[in-house]
Structures are given as C-alpha cells and as structure tokens.
C-alpha cells in the first residue's frame, strides 16, 4: 500500500540508465574479459537483469517492503561490473542509480555458483535525499546464487536464473534500518 500523496512510477529512467550502461560496457569490454562462468564472450552473456521480489527491514520501522523496479548489471571484467537501475525505495520514492560492483571471487560448489560482491553508487535523482546521511552515495553488499556447469543438462536454464540477496547498510539517521532484499536474476546470454 502506498501512503496517500505518494505515487509509484518505475521504468522511465531505467531505459536511459540501461542504455548508457550498455554503451559503456560494450565499449570497454573485451572478449578475453568475459566473466567466469560465461560460456562465450558475447555482450549478452555479460548482461544480467535483477528484479527485486521482497525486502525486509531490520528493525522494521514502517518502511516499504515492496521495492519494485529493475536493475541491469553489465560485467566489464570477471571482477568488475557497471550497474544501474530504477526502483521504489523504502521511503516510497522512485530512485534511479548508477554504480560499480566488485566481485572478488566466484565459487562453484557442486552445481551452485556463489558470487559475493560489493557495490558503490550514486542516487541520481535524489530518491534518498533527506533520509540518508551519505546522500547521494549508495552502497550494498550482495551474494548472487546461480546454477553452475548445467549447460549440457536439461536444467540449462538454471545457469541463467538465480537469486541475489542484498544487504544495504543502515543510514546513520534516526530512522536507520538495514534492508535485506531478495531478487530474481536472469543472465541474458549463454
């Protein structure tokens, strides 16, 4: 439920951010820099879409737990990505952001790939203005879980699908709360 007087709009700025990120990544990415786990070096094998499913705030101080939107992650090297997106934040406001993400290691445990990363970005439209003590900076820690080495099985789609668990550090302001988000991920290329 959206409080009265507030609107929810998502998507318009995402196209601009996504196009800019794709152009940047396409211009600097090289075939030999494909992320580990990618079966080829095509551009689309480095593009992942992330769709937030649910958020939980700790402690929960009447924040919005439905942070709908979309995030595009374009891997530039096996360790670095450019990220951008548009979502409704925990204060019921539209937030457009651009960031860089660093993945120090990607582990395969059986048929599961685990990739932790850290992200640092900028709030481009002031979605957190007045509520963040580090505005316009944004930061997050994330763990991505996907299938690994399933390309020759009937479960090949699971190499592209995954889950991302994101922890955003609490603001130092009085209403500080640490949101934990679960998102569905989909990598476009093989």
What averages of pLDDT result for each successive group of 10 residues across the chain (190 residues)? 43 47 44 43 88 88 84 95 92 92 92 93 88 81 86 70 90 71 89
Rounded to whole angstroms, how far apart are CA atoms 21 and 29? 12
Query: What is the C-alpha to C-alpha distance for residues 150 and 159, in angstroms, rounded to an integer?
Result: 6
State the pLDDT at residue 40.
47
Return the SS3 of 106.
coil
Q: Report DSSP state, residue 36.
A: T
State the pLDDT at residue 63.
Answer: 82
Please check whether residue 147 lies inside any domain of the structure.
yes
The CATH number assigned to the domain holding 127 equals 2.40.160.20
- What pLDDT is recorded for position 130? 76
Whether residue 129 lies inside any domain: the answer is yes
Q: Which domain holds residue 65?
A: 12-187
Give the Cα separation of 110 and 92 in Å (integer). Answer: 40
Can you tell me the distance from the alpha carbon of 145 to that of 185, in angstroms, rounded to the nearest whole number?
A: 9
pLDDT for position 129? 82
pLDDT value, residue 45: 87
What pLDDT does residue 175 have?
59
- Residue pair 58/80 in contact by the 8 Å Cβ criterion: no
Are 13 and 126 spatial neighbours (Cβ–Cβ below 8 Å)?
Answer: no
Q: What whole-number distance in Å separates Cα of residue 68 and Cα of residue 76?
A: 26
Domain annotation covers residue 126: yes
Q: Is residue 7 part of a domain?
A: no
Number of domains in the chain: 1
pTM of the model: 0.74
User: Is 5 domain-assigned?
Assistant: no
Residue 177 lies in a domain: yes
pLDDT at res. 50: 95
Is 164 contained in some domain? Answer: yes
pLDDT of residue 144: 94
| 6 assigned to some structural domain | no
């Amino acid at each position: 439920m959206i409080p009265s007087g507030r609107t929810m709009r998502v998507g318009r700025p995402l196209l601009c951010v996504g196009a800019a990120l794709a152009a940047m990544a396409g211009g600097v990415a090289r075939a030999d820099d494909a992320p580990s786990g990618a079966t080829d070096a095509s551009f689309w094998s480095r593009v992942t879409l992330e769709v937030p499913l649910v958020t939980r705030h700790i402690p929960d101080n009447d924040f919005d737990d439905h942070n709908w939107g979309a995030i595009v992650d374009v891997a530039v090297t096996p360790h670095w990505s450019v990220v951008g997106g548009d979502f409704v934040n925990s204060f019921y406001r539209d937030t457009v952001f651009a960031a860089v993400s660093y993945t120090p290691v990607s582990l395969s445990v059986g048929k599961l790939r685990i990739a932790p990363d850290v992200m640092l970005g900028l709030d481009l439209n002031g979605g957190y203005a007045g509520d963040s003590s580090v505005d316009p900076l944004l930061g997050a820690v994330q763990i991505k879980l996907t299938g690994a080495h399933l390309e020759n099985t009937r479960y090949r789609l699971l190499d592209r699908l995954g889950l991302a668990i994101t922890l955003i550090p609490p603001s130092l302001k009085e209403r500080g709360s640490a949101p934990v988000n679960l998102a569905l991920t989909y990598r476009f290329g093989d």
